[in-house]
């Protein structure tokens, strides 16, 4: 949990600003566990039969990558006042994720849009790229979050 003093409000974000999270390692066991619960396709749950899939090897679910991205961003991204209130994702693309990959997230503020109604908040649009230790892209997304302004806090 972030202290209130560290919280960032709408006015604290600016286009072009970037953030990078630390790296975490993704294990084959984690990939299989997630897939068994949420995306039980054989190329996610069974490394042996995955060899005969379109991927030619065992791969993690894109939804697992999305969940890992969210966790990294929540834990290590800028602490947003009001929480990470997502408004939606305009673009979401996945690359392969494998057991043993180490991933991190690079986020960039694409734009900030004040509320059209004059409400004390705005939308911060973010480009989030989840990269492996090899520099390959495991995911990229363009998302929008609702961020209160300092006036809303006061």
Q: How many domains does the chain have?
A: 1
- The residue whose two tokens read 């294990």 is 27
Residues 109 and 144: their CA atoms lie apart, in Å, by 10
The pTM of the full predicted model, rounded to 2 decimals, is: 0.92
The stretches of the chain forming alpha helices (DSSP H) are: 28-38, 42-45, 47-50, 62-76, 150-153
Give the pLDDT of the chain (154 residues) as one tens digit per residue.
Answer: 445 569 999 999 999 999 999 999 999 999 999 999 999 999 999 999 999 999 999 999 999 999 999 999 999 999 999 999 999 999 999 999 999 999 999 999 999 999 999 999 999 999 999 999 999 999 999 999 999 999 877 7
CATH of the domain at 24: 3.10.129.10
- Domain of residue 45 covers 4-153
């Amino acid at each position: 949990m972030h202290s209130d003093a560290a919280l960032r409000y709408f006015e604290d974000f600016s286009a072009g600003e970037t953030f990078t999270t630390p790296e975490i390692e993704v294990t084959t066991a984690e990939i299989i566990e997630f897939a068994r619960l949420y995306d039980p396709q054989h190329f996610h749950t069974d490394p042996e039969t995955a060899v005969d899939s379109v991927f030619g090897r065992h791969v993690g679910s894109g939804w697992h990558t999305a969940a890992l991205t969210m966790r990294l961003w929540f834990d290590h991204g800028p602490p947003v006042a009001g929480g990470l209130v997502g408004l939606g994702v305009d673009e979401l693309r996945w690359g392969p994720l494998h057991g043993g990959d180490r991933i991190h997230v690079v986020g960039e503020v694409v734009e900030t849009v004040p509320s059209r109604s004059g409400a004390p908040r705005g939308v911060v649009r973010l480009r989030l790229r989840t990269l492996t230790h090899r520099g390959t892209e495991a995911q990229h997304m363009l998302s929008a979050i609702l961020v209160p302004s300092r006036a809303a806090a006061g």
